[in-house]
């Protein structure tokens, strides 16, 4: 018996589009299940162009000036931890503020990088559910440190609930410039039918990928399994002309891989 051939993703070549510093976890999981991951980062993380508002907000947070600190991504946590260290604020904590996170990866980052366990995490890892999970926030002050391109749903919901929200840019999502010497010729692989699935872990990866490969590649993409980490990313894919085949029920990397395994299981065994 060939153990590798019997693995659930054996023989599947899967494109990983997330940022290079985050691709390893997904690639490793795919490899464990027999797939051949191809890392093709289309986005990268950069600091804000102007650090002034973030620095002011972090200084206030270190003085205990907020009721809540909210993170919607591990990148946001990493950016805040890095900036607090640069300002000499590491180890000062956030006073009595409660910490809300959008999902388990963000919670792990808060615990590891800020030594601050999360107080609140919703059961569904989307902004709308996070606002609901925070409960009654009337009159409370909230620091929301996140990406420049984040959806407005969360601050809108918190303000509608009566909170005072300081929404500051902790990091920017930028298009990763392709390094010709290390990136695969994805257009050729797609045209030759040598890619089985493409994974998207955020709306920004969808948009950056289409910008990279060009709309002329859409006909080839329709022959590929489009796997999205959740409904927001799937909606972005549809807006770009793609047809998501797989949408994870748990909006995490593990959830995405599980959904892929389930899809190929149905294709192979009808289950």
- Residues 244-259 have a mean pLDDT of 95
The string over 215-246, giving b where at least 16 C-beta atoms fall within 10 Å of a residue's C-beta and e elsewhere, is eebeebbeebbbbbbbebbbebbeebebebbb
Cβ atoms of 84 and 232 within 8 Å: the answer is no
Model confidence over 73-89: pLDDT tens digits?
A: 999 999 999 999 999 99
Of 1 and 195, the one with more pLDDT:
195
Strand partners, 3: none
User: Which is nearest to 200 in space by CA: 50, 58, 70, 22?
Assistant: 22
Closest CA to 217 of 191, 235, 193: 191
Q: Per-residue pLDDT tens for 137-192?
A: 999 999 999 999 888 999 999 999 999 999 999 999 998 876 655 667 888 999 99
Q: What's the sign of the alpha-carbon dihedral 254, 255, 261, 265?
A: positive
User: For the residues 48-62, what does the mean pLDDT come to?
Assistant: 96
CA 59/CA 81 separation, integer angstroms: 12
Average pLDDT over residues 216-228: 91
CA torsion sign, 267 to 226 to 248 to 111? positive
> Using CA atoms, how far apart are residues 194 and 70, in angstroms rounded to an integer?
41
Is the overall model pTM greater than 0.75, yes or no?
yes
Q: CA-based angle 54:55:58, to the nearest 5?
A: 85
* Greater pLDDT, 72 or 1: 72
Over 70: is that where the pLDDT of 211 sits? yes
Say if residue 256's pLDDT is above 90.
yes
pLDDT category of residue 4 using cuts at 50, 70 and 90: low
Provide the mean pLDDT of the chain: 92
């Amino acid at each position: 018996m060939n153990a590798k051939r019997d693995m659930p993703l054996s023989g599947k070549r899967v494109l990983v589009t997330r940022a290079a510093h985050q691709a390893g976890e997904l690639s490793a999981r795919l490899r464990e299940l027999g797939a051949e991951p191809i890392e093709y980062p289309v986005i990268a993380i950069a600091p804000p162009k102007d650090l002034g508002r973030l620095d002011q907000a972090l200084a206030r947070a270190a003085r205990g000036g907020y009721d809540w600190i909210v993170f919607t991504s591990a990148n946001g946590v990493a950016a805040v931890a890095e900036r607090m260290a640069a300002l000499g604020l590491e180890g000062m904590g956030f006073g009595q503020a409660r910490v809300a996170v959008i999902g388990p990866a963000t919670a792990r980052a808060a615990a590891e990088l800020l030594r601050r366990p999360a107080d609140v995490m919703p059961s569904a890892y989307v902004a709308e559910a996070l606002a609901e999970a925070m409960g009654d926030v009337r009159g409370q002050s909230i620091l929301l440190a996140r990406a420049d391109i984040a959806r407005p749903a969360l601050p809108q919901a918190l303000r509608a609930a009566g909170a005072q929200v300081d929404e500051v840019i902790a990091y920017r999502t930028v298009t990763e410039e392709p390094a010709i010497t290390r990136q695969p010729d994805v257009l050729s692989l797609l045209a030759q039918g040598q890619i089985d699935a493409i994974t998207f872990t955020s709306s920004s990866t969808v948009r950056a990928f289409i910008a990279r490969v060009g709309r002329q590649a859409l006909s080839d993409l329709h022959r590929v399994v489009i796997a999205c980490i959740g409904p927001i990313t799937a909606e972005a894919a549809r807006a770009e002309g793609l047809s998501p085949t797989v949408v994870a029920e748990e909006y995490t990397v593990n959830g995405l891989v599980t959904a892929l395994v389930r899809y190929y299981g149905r294709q192979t065994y009808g289950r």
